[in-house]
């Protein structure tokens, strides 16, 4: 099965002006090398971090025009894991994810914006969560590997306001803004120190 590692090698080779024109190809996310994390403020003074254990995803790469590439990801909300069972039960419950009623969150992209000079850019799409769909922009960073390397790592970052999706439980102790972090094939999974300026779509929450 082709994995996302092959996808990003192909994508960044194309950005390096390799003269190869192939049809659009679909690649499956390699779960073993992928981490999906989040963190949110807790009583202002500290932050709670967690991750998701169950998710699937695929990419379609159009090497003739990367803007036409796409990504789809599905995360099982009941797989949230903060390392504390009682807290995880609250997060899965009606005040937040309500995982019984809304078992999945989905991201589907519409546009890839990639800068050839630093192999970074934006993934623009929509996030469906808790029965609500909103525009979302993710920052894409290549953090390891070169055009002639046999591997590549990347980090995707973004933020959402959970209240925009009707997840308004526990608003006093738990912050509204949630920071998302997706790492692939990166040992130290953290956001880059310098982030490109994000394009922010306009919408009415």
- Per-residue pLDDT tens digits for 11-42: 433 333 333 345 577 777 778 888 999 999 98
- For domain 4-184, the CATH architecture is Beta Barrel (2.40)
What pLDDT band is residue 91 in, cutting at 50, 70 and 90? very high
CA distance 181 to 179: 7
Residue 90 host element (H or E) = helix 85-92
Cα atoms in the 13 Å half-sphere on the side-chain side of 52: 25
Instruction: Give the tokens for residue 39.
Output: 């963190």
CA distance 123 to 144: 19
* Domains of the chain by residue range: 4-184
Instruction: Give the tokens for residue 58.
Output: 């695929």
pLDDT for position 43? 86
Whole-prediction pTM value? 0.77
CA distance 93 to 80: 11
Between vectors from CA 123 to CA 4 and to CA 96, what angle results, nearest 5°?
95
CA distance 69 to 176: 31
Q: What's the distance, CA 66 to chain centroid?
A: 18
Q: Is the pLDDT of residue 116 over 80?
A: no
């Amino acid at each position: 099965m082709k994995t996302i590692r092959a996808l990003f090698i192909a994508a960044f080779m194309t950005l390096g002006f390799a003269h190869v024109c192939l049809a659009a190809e679909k690649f499956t996310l390699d779960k073993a090398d992928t981490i999906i994390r989040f963190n949110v403020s807790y009583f202002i003074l500290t932050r709670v971090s967690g991750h998701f254990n169950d998710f699937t995803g695929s990419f379609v790469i159009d090497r003739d025009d990367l803007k036409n590439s796409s990504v789809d990801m599905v995360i099982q909300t009941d797989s949230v894991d903060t390392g504390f069972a009682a807290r995880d039960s609250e997060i899965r419950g009606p005040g937040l994810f309500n995982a019984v009623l809304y078992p999945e969150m989905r991201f589907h992209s519409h546009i890839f914006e990639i800068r050839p000079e630093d192999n970074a850019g934006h993934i623009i799409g929509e996030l469906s969560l808790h029965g609500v769909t909103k525009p979302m922009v993710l920052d894409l960073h290549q953090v390891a590997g070169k055009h002639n390397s046999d591997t590549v790592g990347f980090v995707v970052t973004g933020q959402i306001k959970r209240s925009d999706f009707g997840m308004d439980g526990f608003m006093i102790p738990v912050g509204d803004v949630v920071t998302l972090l997706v790492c692939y094939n990166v040992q130290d999974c953290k956001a880059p120190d310098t982030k490109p300026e994000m394009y922010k779509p306009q919408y009415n929450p």
